[in-house]
Structure 1
């Protein structure tokens, strides 16, 4: 079976790895008539296109920056950061295979049979976050009024920013996509007119405690999807350096093994291949990889200069709260 792991030890660039992996995977898919692997190749080509031909990001990031300037004017007491990235190759590969495993498992547990090929292909067409931007806000304690609770005030600001974002982006060539998060609870802080576009993990946190607001836009100028995440600093810390990032690893492993135990091996080639590729990625020892512009001491101490593991940074902006550096008598 063709898998990404086999291409990470030759000293090639990420682009070269993508080219070799997708070429070999396509040849194998044609030979075995595996339509999901062909779809997988097209997914890899999307990443390759972003890395090769990303001139459109100049226009896109400039329009995103307009909202940054708007926030600096409308919320003078807030500190906030804008970040953007192209999803890393390893994380994108893990997500593609994870979607296959998750969908087939859930379908099998519900129906006792497997999804049809058209159903699976339709599900895999839902990737919208190869390009993602994140807005992280913080209210400095020096601007907190008497009897105000910091976390509550920051959440009020977060939803207020979320209320402004869709219309602002629509005026600049973006179209908000309807979100689907099942029967999610709603908050009065999010306007009814914008609520259908948000996946609200703030009032509907994930089981590991992850909280954030997610919204997806179609960029009509660049002709691609982008995801925007909105978080408070506390939420971002939890996701990046807290339990949502680290402590759930063993539990994730247990859940993956449970899925493998539930699906009889050999009954569904798409599940088998995706599961094996996903487990192989989980077992990577990053310090042993030989990829140009990437180095790691271990799986935590990583210097990723190529978008292999952490993603390709495309938008760093930081705004300190107005008056934050002023001298006070």
Structure 2
């Protein structure tokens, strides 16, 4: 079986690694009549195109910047950041194999049999966050009489921005994708007309305290999907360095995937392959990798300049609150 790990110690560039992995995976898939590995190959080609930083990313980021300029004009008293990234290769590979493992396991647990190839392909067609943008806002304390008031107003501004975003981007060639009832908002601050598009992790606050608004757009000019996340600074801190930190999320996934061994080995090759690939990635020792523009002293201290582990930044933009007055906004 071909795995990404086989190519991460060669000293090659990330593009050479991808080229070789895709080539060998596709060749092996054809020899073994493995339809899922063919889907896997196409998935990796899409990642490769993203990492190449094609012109459409510049054009797309420019449209997102237009919303930044709108916010700077309409909310001069807010501080906010815009960030954009392409999903990292390792994280995308983990997610692809994780989807296979989880879907087959859940299906087996429910029906006592395995899903068809067609059902599995349909599950793997749901990737919408290769490209993601994040808007983080903060209302400086000098504009509020109390912390409770500041948080209340900050949340109101966040939902105001969420209400405006879909129409703003649709006028610039994007189409908001229905969330299909996933994490449907219960907040009265979200307008009825935009309800179908948002996954609201604020009104559905989970066990790990993760909070954010998520919406997916289809960029008609580049024919690609992009996810936009909206958060307050406090929500972003919880997600990045607090109880919802991604490393803690991954630890939960590790435990979750370890239970998948309940499926008898050898009965479903798609499960077995995805499980093995996923476990190998989770056990990677970053300091041993040899990939161009990547360095690590351990699994926590990583300098990634190639989109291998932490993704590639495509839009850093920051607005610091400059407008100040003694009166209420």
Determine if the TM-score, normalized by the shorter chain, exceeds 0.5.
yes
Query: What's the TM-score once normalised by structure 1's chain length?
Result: 0.94
What SS is found at the alignment partner of 2:129? coil
Superposed, 1:87-236 pairs within 5 Å as 87-146=87-146, 148-182=148-182, 184-236=184-236
Name stretches of at least 5 consecutive residues in structure 1 with no aligned partner: 325-329
Q: Within the alignment, does 1:323 sit opposite 2:323 as a pair?
A: yes
CA distance in structure 1 between the partners assigned to 2:99 and 2:58 by the alignment = 31
What SS is found at the alignment partner of 1:81? strand
What SS is found at the alignment partner of 1:178? coil
What's the CA shift for 1:151?
A: 2.6
CA distance in structure 2 between the partners assigned to 1:88 and 1:22 by the alignment = 16
What's the CA shift for 1:147?
A: 7.3
Instruction: Map Cα deviations across residues 161-205 of structure 1 (whole Å, 9 max, x no partner).
Output: 100000000000000000135464511111110010011111113
CA distance in structure 2 between the partners assigned to 1:19 and 1:207 by the alignment = 40
What's the CA shift for 1:50?
A: 1.8
What SS is found at the alignment partner of 1:207? coil
Moved more, 248-257 or 281-290: 248-257
Aligned residue-pair number = 324
What's the CA shift for 1:49?
A: 1.4
What's the CA shift for 1:20?
A: 0.6
Which residue is 1:59 aligned to?
Answer: 59
Superposed, 1:256-267 pairs within 5 Å as 256-261=257-262, 263-267=263-267
What SS is found at the alignment partner of 2:278? helix
CA distance in structure 1 between the partners assigned to 2:181 and 2:109 by the alignment = 20
Moved more, 112-121 or 238-247: 238-247
CA distance in structure 1 between the partners assigned to 2:253 and 2:15 by the alignment = 29
Which residue is 1:284 aligned to?
Answer: 284
Query: What's the TM-score once normalised by structure 2's chain length?
Result: 0.94
Which residue is 1:47 aligned to?
Answer: 47
What's the CA shift for 1:323?
A: 3.3
Q: Within the alignment, does 1:309 sit opposite 2:309 as a pair?
A: yes
What SS is found at the alignment partner of 1:231? strand
What's the CA shift for 1:51?
A: 2.3
Which residue is 1:24 aligned to?
Answer: 24
Q: Is the 8 A contact 2:88 2:312 kept in 1?
A: yes
What SS is found at the alignment partner of 2:192? coil
CA distance in structure 2 between the partners assigned to 1:183 and 1:61 by the alignment = 27
CA distance in structure 2 between the partners assigned to 1:240 and 1:303 by the alignment = 17
Flag the 1:122–1:304 CA change in 2: closer, same or farther, 3 A: same
What SS is found at the alignment partner of 1:287? helix
After TM superposition, what 4+ stretches of structure 1 lie above 4 angstroms from structure 2? none
CA distance in structure 1 between the partners assigned to 2:67 and 2:95 by the alignment = 29
What's the CA shift for 1:145?
A: 3.5
CA distance in structure 2 between the partners assigned to 1:31 and 1:5 by the alignment = 21
CA distance in structure 2 between the partners assigned to 1:307 and 1:248 by the alignment = 20
Moved more, 43-52 or 158-167: 43-52
What SS is found at the alignment partner of 1:77? coil
Flag the 1:59–1:247 CA change in 2: closer, same or farther, 3 A: closer
CA distance in structure 2 between the partners assigned to 1:163 and 1:294 by the alignment = 40
What's the CA shift for 1:124?
A: 0.5
What's the CA shift for 1:53?
A: 5.4
CA distance in structure 2 between the partners assigned to 1:322 and 1:183 by the alignment = 35
CA distance in structure 2 between the partners assigned to 1:239 and 1:90 by the alignment = 20
